[in-house]
Amino acid sequence: MKFTPAIVALAAALAMPAMAEEALTVVNFGGANGAAQKKAYVEPFEKAGGKITSVEYNGEQAKIKAMVEAKKITWDVVEVESPDVTRGCDEGLFETIDWSKIGNKADFQKAAVHECGVGTFVWSTVMAYDGDKLKTAPTTWADFWDVKKFPGKRGLRKGARYNLEFALMADGVKPADVYKVLRTKEGSDRAFKKLSELKPSIQWWEAGAQPPQFLVAGDVTMTTAYNGRIDAAQREGKNLKITWTGGIYDLDYWVIPKGTPNKEAAMKFIAMASTPDAQAEYARNISYGPTNNKALAKLDAKVLSQLPTSEANSKDALQFNIGFWSDQGEALEKRFAAWAAQ
C-alpha cells in the first residue's frame, strides 16, 4: 500500500499534538542538583517517551510572573524555594496540584504537601570549611563569627534569609527560639547588630557554586553553603567538611506555571519524580533528602549518613520557617539591602 504525500503529512500532523503533550521545559537551579535531576528524573522520563528541555535559573520569580501575566508560558515545571511556592500560590502564578495524580499524601513529609507545589527534596544551608587548610574544626556559629580564633574571610549568601538566623545563633539564641526572637523588632535589631560585627570579614556569594570555589581557592576560611554543593566537591576529591550544628534545612518544590498548555504532562513528570525509586536515585547522586519517605528504605547507611534528614545531622538543625519569611521577608530583605550597601 502506497501513501501519498498528503496522507503522510496528515498523519504527521495528527501525531504531533501527542508528542507535544510530552515535550516539557523543566527549570531548576543547575549545578550538582541539575546533574542529579538529569540522572534520576530527566533520563527516565525521556526513556519512557517524553522529551525534556532543561533550563537553569537563579530563582527569578519575576520571569514566571511576566509569563503568566502575558499568557505566554514557556516553562512547564519549575523548581522553586519554599517562600516562593507560597507567595506564587497566593499571587495565582501556579496551577493547583492534583495530588491524586502525584501519590499518597501520607507517604510524603508533611511540609512537602502544598496546594500549589510538590516538595521534591530536603536540603540544608550549613557551615563548611576546607579540611586541608583548617585543622581545628569549627563547631558552632559563634566559631564562625570568631575571626580571632579562626582568622580569614567568611562567605555568606547575599540576602537576609538564613544570615539573620545564623547571626542570632552566633549570639547565643537556641535554634528552637530563633524565630520567636526574630519576630520582634528587638530580635531583628540584634541579628543585624551581630551581622555588623562580621561585616568587615564577609565575602558575599550569590550562586550555589561559589562557596566551594571560595574554599578551594583559599579566599575564605569558612562559608555558608548548600550541603549538596559541598557533597559534589567531596565527590571530586576535595577535602571540604561540613559542620551540621545549627544548619537550616528547607525544601525545594516543583510548581507548574499557571496556564501552561502542557499541564497534564507536567503533572506526569512531577509524579514520576516523586516516586520512591526516582527519589532514592536522586539522593545517591547528591546528598539531599527525599520527601517521599518510602525512598529512605532504598538507601544504604553511607548515603543516609550524608543527608540533612539523618538523625545525627538534624538533631541540632533549624527548620526554615516559610510562614515567617512570607510575612516579614520583604521588609527584612529591603533592610538587608540598605545595610549591605552602607
227 and 186 both lie in a single domain: yes
In the DSSP assignment, the letter for residue 113 is B
Q: Which residues of the chain have pLDDT under 50?
A: 1-21
Cβ atoms 264, 329 nearer than 8 A: no
How far, in Å, CA of 285 to CA of 228, rounded? 9
Residue of 189, 161, 197 lying closest to 324 (CA atoms) = 161
117 and 218 both lie in a single domain: no
98 and 214 both lie in a single domain: no
How does DSSP assign 299-319, residue by residue? S-HHHHHTSTTSHHHHTT-EE
How does DSSP assign 117-153, residue by residue? -EEEEEEEEEEEEETTT-SSPP-SHHHHH-TTTS-S-
327 and 180 both lie in a single domain: yes
In terms of residue numbers, what domain contains 185? 124-249+316-341
Residue 34: partners with Cβ closer than 8 Å, 6 or more residues away = 28, 54, 56
CA 111, distance to chain mean position in Å, is 14
206 and 266 both lie in a single domain: no
136 and 239 both lie in a single domain: yes
- Dihedral angle, C-alpha 61, 66, 67, 71, nearest 10 °: 140
75 and 147 both lie in a single domain: no
205 and 334 both lie in a single domain: yes
List C-alpha distances in Å: 315 to 11, 45, 303, 318.
60, 36, 18, 9
CB atoms within 10 A of CB 297: 8
How far, in Å, CA of 176 to CA of 193, rounded? 21
94 and 130 both lie in a single domain: no
73 and 128 both lie in a single domain: no
How far, in Å, CA of 211 to CA of 124, rounded? 14
The helix or strand, by DSSP H or E, that contains position 225, with its residue range, turns out to be strand 222-226
209 and 274 both lie in a single domain: no
CATH number at residue 171: 3.40.190.10
pTM score of the predicted model: 0.79
Total number of domains in the chain = 2
How far, in Å, CA of 187 to CA of 56, rounded? 36
pLDDT > 90 in the chain, percent: 85
| Grid cell of 294 as nine digits | 518510602
How far, in Å, CA of 182 to CA of 328, rounded? 10
| Grid cell of 333 as nine digits | 530583605
* Residue-wise pLDDT tens digits, 165-203: 999 999 999 999 999 999 999 999 999 999 999 999 999
In the DSSP assignment, the letter for residue 10 is H
How far, in Å, CA of 182 to CA of 279, rounded? 34
List C-alpha distances in Å: 84 to 146, 265, 310.
33, 23, 26
Note the pLDDT of residue 275.
98
Long-range contacts from 225-228, C-beta under 8 angstroms, 24+ separation: 225/125, 225/126, 225/127, 225/128, 225/155, 226/123, 226/124, 226/125, 226/126, 227/123, 227/124, 227/125, 227/126, 227/287, 227/288, 227/308, 228/32, 228/33, 228/36, 228/123, 228/286, 228/287, 228/288
* Residue-wise pLDDT tens digits, 83-117: 899 889 999 999 999 999 999 999 999 999 999 99
36 and 108 both lie in a single domain: yes
